[in-house]
Amino acid sequence: MRLRRRASEQEQLLLDSDLFDEQWYGERAGVRLDRGEAVRHYLEHGVPSGLAPHPLFDPAYVRRRLSPKRLAMLGDGDPLTFVLRRGLKLATHPLLAPRAAGLGEGDLATWIKRRYAAWPQQPDGAPTPDAVASVLITCYSAPENALVAARTAAETAAAAGDAAEILVIDATGSMTDGIVLDALIGLPGLRVTRGSADPAAELVVLLHDDAAPEHGWLAPLVAALNTPAVLAASSLLIAPSGAIESAGAVYPAPGGLPYPLLADFPAEDAGAVGALRMPGLSGGALALRRKDWAQLGVVEELGELAEIDLCRRLAAARQGRFRVVTESRVRHRPHPVDLETRALFDEREHVVASEGEEHRIWAACGYEIVGHEVQPPPNGAPRRIGVIEPVVVRAARLEVSEAPRPLRWAIKNPAPSNPDERWGDTHFAHALARALRDLGQEAVVDHHGAWGRRTSRHDDIDLVLRGPHPFDPTPEHPSIAWVISHPETVTAEEARRYDRVVAASVPWAQRRSAEWGLRIEPLLQATDPELFHPGRAEPDSGAEVLFVGSSRGEYRAIVRDAIKAGLPLSVYGANWDGLIPPSYVVDNYLPNDQVGIAYASAGIVLNDHFEDMRREGFLSNRLFDAVASGARVVTDDVAGLGELFGDSVLVYREYEELVQMWEHRADAFGHDSVRLATARRIGREHSFRARAQALVEMAHEVRSGVGGPATSGGLRP
């Protein structure tokens, strides 16, 4: 290739590499350039924007794979040239991890050359005759979406023990896109075909290529279709925010386009949907019998309304009902319905619901329809197709009763929505929600992305778990902030916006109350005694020295000191690569319902704090869980330990002390009977139920106008 000027060393690396695809990059960058120009454009504009140089090179993923030392060396530079210059042997895309496609580390370039030479190839793999379901994923224009969906579907089905074949249909007609889809070859039970599908199973699941099924998603769909009266079933669709995207399709009684039920409501509101006869099902993940799929097909020109139209035609063909399976959850990105799609759908003969049907569906969810809103299309629409949506209120608010009705709590979880739900804040939020429900309250959990959901007007109390993100309270109802982490980011101005503030630290609450002239009360962290109690495992039958936690991108001091002291350490947590020898890491994740077993069976459990939380007296949630499990715990120093946990928790300052505590653990942590008595006390006095009871009392005070953040009358006894 002749260039106008001599290429730099960095540019030459890219020019010579099969990991730079100028056609792919140009399409993503919106430019049409020759290879040399594309390389220069990538280095100047693409790298700062995070654009991928190849469909199978994910810059963000590569950065996550680098050790902290190498990440610091890379800085804001180009990950691709960094990898090429150093000859690093690592997978460059999450879908090309060694176990995903039979690749060895560093074999990607060879593999790409082989695929380019062989494309187009014959459909991969043979049908799976014993599959309980054939999952069909049609890829039209975004192969990376299909890659994610197919691998996620295959892994979640396999993890749940579901026998399924995953069938990816390549409808792109593009060599580059086809090669991307070929990356799926080698995954067990997965086939790639071009232009058509021949599902082997009697049950077909239509899965959108931007859908991400959650663990255990398939078996409930299969079970639903075992009932002959069910024509088709769909998963509960969850938006990226963690709120509901769709719990089925409902037709407005005045007539108009079907709309998604419970869109932007918390997932907890879908509890009753599974028992309802739905007039239609939204796309995302829809299951039906193969014979019906073959006869009716999917009307692709209707886009996001295609599955609803399929349900309309299926209901016209034979009797039956549609069901949303709330036990099956699929993450899906909402898509707006464009004007052309609306016109196409409106031209077809479709169902017009009776007023009673729409009211029946919303009433089962706990809401009453009090009217409808009509949103006309923008100017320039081919015809007037308005979007009609109901205006609803909570049915409980319409009831007249002398007894105080239960409050609806919206717990604001600072963690992002994640199908794996590995964040400790998420487990904390759901445990608190269960405790509130045990007290007769209603409770929903909003991940950080759903904090501002438009349906929050139906809530009674915002309970903000104040972690790394501040919250802007609404004037519609009271708010309570519970500061559980990152206290250094909380300001007096923010605290005054809440109706009440509590904190998981006695000294911080006292000091800030005096400094800010506000009423801030201590409310320590808590434990769930159903998951954390001594009876969950035989003492000293598990890990000798246990640490459960991620690296947080640093060599955590207590882990470093345990290794330095030569202790028999077992670590469960992510992102320890490059920080500690792999032999110490048992797994990158320990499910929350198994953590109590690990604690109860451990010789000793290690704990530490963020420096600001340690300094400010914020006792870790791990302390409550481990002590409630009957564990011996070693931790860094933080105010308030001794009087709360007794000899169950010891403080170390130098790594030599760890050796002494480990070798003399039988005596150092006190008699077993005393430690078990402490475990029972912590489980009783510091349970989520105890915290929920205090919060309910506080909420009634707030609603009756008692106290508040501007009241500096000291701490409540």
pLDDT digits (tens, 9 = 90+) for 4-53: 456 688 888 898 887 888 877 887 788 888 888 999 999 999 998 888 88
Task: With a cut of 70, say whether residue 645 has pLDDT above it.
Answer: yes
Please state the φ and ψ torsions of residue 387, each to the nearest 5 degrees.
-95, 120
Please state the φ and ψ torsions of residue 135, each to the nearest 5 degrees.
-95, 115
- Cα separation values, 70 from 65, 75, 80, 96, 341, Å: 10, 9, 13, 21, 49
What is the count of structural domains for the chain? Answer: 3
**Residue where a domain terminates, one of 470, 498, 522:** 522
Same structural domain for residues 491 and 612? no
Same structural domain for residues 88 and 38? yes
3-class secondary-structure state, position 706: coil
CB neighbour class for 480 (10 Å; exposed up to 12, middle 13-18, buried from 19): buried
SS3 assignment for 251-283:
CCCCCCCCEECCCCCCHHHHCCHHHCCECECCC
Domain containing 629 — which CATH number? 3.40.50.2000
Under DSSP, the state recorded for 350 is: -
Question: Does residue 625 lie in a domain region?
Answer: yes
Contacts 24+ apart (CB under 8 A), 100-109: 100/151, 100/183, 100/186, 100/187, 101/183, 101/184, 101/185, 101/186, 101/187, 102/186, 108/19, 108/56, 109/17, 109/18, 109/19
CB neighbour class for 404 (10 Å; exposed up to 12, middle 13-18, buried from 19): exposed
Partnered with residue 368 across adjacent β-strands are 393
Query: Average pLDDT of 495-506?
Result: 96
Partnered with residue 286 across adjacent β-strands are 206, 234
Banded pLDDT at 598 (limits 50, 70, 90): very high
Banded pLDDT at 146 (limits 50, 70, 90): low
Q: Which residue has the higher pLDDT, 478 or 120?
A: 478
Same structural domain for residues 516 and 541? no
Nearest to 299 by CA among 332, 259, 347, 359: 347
* Structure confidence at residue 714 (pLDDT): 34
Task: With a cut of 50, say whether residue 137 has pLDDT above it.
Answer: yes
Question: Does residue 133 lie in a domain region?
Answer: no
CA angle 486, 488, 489 (to 5 degrees): 75
Six token digits for residue 162: 């579901």
Q: Which residue has the higher pLDDT, 55 or 244?
A: 244
| Torsion 659-661-665-667 (CA) sign | positive
Question: Does residue 343 lie in a domain region?
Answer: no
- DSSP states of 48-72 as a string? HHT--SBTTB-HHHHHHHS-HHHHH
Question: Does residue 631 lie in a domain region?
Answer: yes
* Structure confidence at residue 307 (pLDDT): 86
* Structure confidence at residue 281 (pLDDT): 94
Query: Average pLDDT of 404-433?
Result: 88
Query: Average pLDDT of 320-334?
Result: 91
Q: Contact 17/56 with Cβ under 8 angstroms?
A: no
Nearest to 591 by CA among 524, 531, 670: 531
Question: Does residue 582 lie in a domain region?
Answer: yes
**Residue where a domain terminates, one of 487, 522, 557:** 522
* Structure confidence at residue 444 (pLDDT): 98
- DSSP states of 145-168 as a string? HHHHHHHHHHHHHHHTT--EEEEE
405 contacts: CB under 8 Å, gap ≥ 6: 396, 397, 399
How do residues 518-531 score in pLDDT, each as one tens digit? 999 999 999 999 99
Same structural domain for residues 505 and 553? no
Q: Which residue has the higher pLDDT, 367 or 384?
A: 367
Same structural domain for residues 549 and 454? no
- 276-313: burial string, b at 16+ Cβ within 10 Å, e else: bebbbbbbbbbbbbeebbeebeebeebbbbbbbbbbbb
Same structural domain for residues 516 and 542? no
Task: Share the mean pLDDT of the chain.
Answer: 84
Cα distance between residue 526 and residue 75, in whole Å: 40
22-36, 306-320, 700-714: which has the highest mean pLDDT?
A: 306-320
Task: With a cut of 80, say whether residue 177 has pLDDT above it.
Answer: no
Q: Residues in the chain, how many? A: 717
Task: With a cut of 90, say whether residue 118 has pLDDT above it.
Answer: no
- DSSP states of 541-568 as a string? SS-SEEEES--TTS--HHHHHHHHTT--
* Structure confidence at residue 349 (pLDDT): 59
Same structural domain for residues 512 and 544? no
Six token digits for residue 700: 């009634």
Cα distance between residue 234 and residue 287, in whole Å: 6
How do residues 663-683 score in pLDDT, each as one tens digit? 999 899 989 999 999 999 999
SS3 assignment for 240-254:
CCCCEEECCEECCCC
Under DSSP, the state recorded for 454 is: G
- Spell out the alpha helix ranges (H) of 565-640: 592-601, 611-616, 621-628
Lowest mean pLDDT, pick from 34-48, 349-363, 371-385: 371-385
3-class secondary-structure state, position 487: helix
* Structure confidence at residue 32 (pLDDT): 82
Banded pLDDT at 80 (limits 50, 70, 90): very high
- Cα separation values, 335 from 240, 282, 332, 564, Å: 12, 11, 9, 53
Domain containing 447 — which CATH number? 3.40.50
**Residue where a domain terminates, one of 52, 74, 98:** 98
Task: With a cut of 70, say whether residue 262 has pLDDT above it.
Answer: yes
95 contacts: CB under 8 Å, gap ≥ 6: 56, 101, 147, 148, 151, 183, 184
Question: Does residue 630 lie in a domain region?
Answer: yes
Same structural domain for residues 638 and 540? yes
Q: Rg of the Cα trace of the chain?
A: 28
Nearest to 157 by CA among 332, 285, 297: 285
Under DSSP, the state recorded for 326 is: E
* Structure confidence at residue 123 (pLDDT): 45
175 contacts: CB under 8 Å, gap ≥ 6: 116, 119, 120
Question: Does residue 390 lie in a domain region?
Answer: no
Query: Average pLDDT of 265-276?
Result: 95
Partnered with residue 203 across adjacent β-strands are 289
Banded pLDDT at 127 (limits 50, 70, 90): low
Query: Average pLDDT of 482-508?
Result: 95
Cα distance between residue 197 and residue 701, in whole Å: 62
Whether residue 120 is preceded by a cis peptide bond, meaning omega within 30 degrees of 0, is yes
How do residues 612-631 score in pLDDT, each as one tens digit? 899 999 999 999 999 999 99
Same structural domain for residues 654 and 554? yes
Strand 585-587 relative to strand 569-572: parallel, antiparallel, unpaired? parallel
Residues of the chain above pLDDT 90, percent: 51
Nearest to 259 by CA among 333, 344, 362: 362
Banded pLDDT at 126 (limits 50, 70, 90): low
How do residues 207-261 score in pLDDT, each as one tens digit? 888 788 888 899 999 999 999 999 999 999 999 899 999 999 998 887 778 889 9
Same structural domain for residues 427 and 464? yes
Lowest mean pLDDT, pick from 66-70, 215-219, 505-509: 66-70
Task: With a cut of 60, say whether residue 360 has pLDDT above it.
Answer: yes
Residue 117 neighbours by CB distance under 10 Å: 7
Q: Contact 359/270 with Cβ under 8 angstroms?
A: no
Query: Average pLDDT of 369-384?
Result: 65
SS3 content of the chain, % helix, strand, coil (to 5): 40, 20, 40
HSE, side-chain direction, 13 A CA sphere, residue 166: 28
Same structural domain for residues 463 and 565? no
Cα distance between residue 383 and residue 79, in whole Å: 50
* Structure confidence at residue 2 (pLDDT): 40
* Structure confidence at residue 298 (pLDDT): 66
Domain region containing 57: 9-98
Cα distance between residue 248 and residue 364, in whole Å: 13
Cα distance between residue 530 and residue 533, in whole Å: 7
Cα distance between residue 75 and residue 261, in whole Å: 46
* Structure confidence at residue 389 (pLDDT): 84
Number of H helices, E strands in the chain: 28, 25
Helix axes 655-663, 557-564, angle to 10 degrees: 70
Six token digits for residue 452: 């501002």
Question: Does residue 474 lie in a domain region?
Answer: yes
Six token digits for residue 356: 């009673």
Banded pLDDT at 103 (limits 50, 70, 90): very low
CB neighbour class for 412 (10 Å; exposed up to 12, middle 13-18, buried from 19): buried
* Structure confidence at residue 190 (pLDDT): 72
- DSSP states of 191-221 as a string? EEEES-----SSEEEEE-TTEEEPTT-HHHH
Banded pLDDT at 368 (limits 50, 70, 90): very high
Six token digits for residue 1: 């290739």
Task: With a cut of 70, say whether residue 116 has pLDDT above it.
Answer: no
* Structure confidence at residue 167 (pLDDT): 83
Same structural domain for residues 485 and 543? no
